[in-house]
Chain A
Amino acid sequence: RKEVEQDPGPFNVPEGATVAFNCTYSNSASQSFFWYRQDCRKEPKLLMSVYSSGNEDGRFTAQLNRASQYISLLIRDSKLSDSATYLCVVNMWGGGSQGNLIFGKGTKLSVKP
């Protein structure tokens, strides 16, 4: 049983394209949600938190649908520097859990000139 599932990718897109990442999670008790990005052989870095109302940060928009247990990330006007692996992350806390992060396998994005 996969707890956090993501599009397998890779996504190869031209500069300026819009790209969407999807993620589903299995545990309805999950409390909070994040998108992290990971460059090759580097640590995960927070891209954005995901809120029920949806949130936007510049070219990035994240959406959460708790009823469907679905999270998305949209990148508009993609840049070469957006090339990375995008990790969907679910945070478990409460009921004895102290903020255990559950990671998806990630979706690799390559933005080409």
Chain B
Amino acid sequence: EPEVTQTPSHQVTQMGQEVILRCVPISNHLYFYWYRQILGQKVEFLVSFYNNEISEKSEIFDDQFSVERPDGSNFTLKIRSTKLEDSAMYFCASRTTPNTEAFFGQGTRLTVV
């Protein structure tokens, strides 16, 4: 069964460092998303991406965040200068249309120290 894959599964980084979280969406999907979940809190939308551009972003997705689809398979989230409060589980998701089931990757646990 096709699945969304994310790497790494766990990343520890020092405050102020840049991190890149990687995702490989399901191959025939066209809509891509990043969500985050701080421990004990709800899953929150960060950004949606379609047709090689950001289609929507939340208030959380400020200038320190960026996304890229550098080739036909990868979808990355970059955090330029990490803060302690960026520590969370980051989930990538993809789907065929904006109204169908979204498939989530297993997540990257980011710990900023």
Contact = CB atoms under 8 A, between A and B. Distances in A.
Interface of A: 31-32, 34, 41-46, 49, 87, 91, 93, 96-106
Chain B CB within 10 A, most for which of A31, A43, A49, A91: A43
Interface of B: 31, 33, 35, 41-45, 48, 50, 55-56, 58, 89, 91, 93, 95, 97-99, 101-107, 109
Given A44-B43, A98-B48, A105-B42, 12 more contacts: A32-B99, A43-B91, A43-B104, A43-B106, A44-B91, A45-B104, A93-B98, A98-B50, A99-B102, A101-B102, A103-B44, A105-B41
B98 A98 contact: yes
Chain A contact residues, majority secondary structure: strand
By Cβ-Cβ distance, the 6 closest A-B pairs, closest first, are A99-B98, A43-B104, A93-B98, A98-B55, A103-B43, A105-B42
Contacts of A105: 41-42
Contacts of A45: 104
Nearest to B92: A43
B91 to A, nearest CB: 6
Contacts of B95: 99
Contacts of A42: 106-107
Contacts of A102: 45
Contacts of A98: 31, 48, 50, 55-56, 98
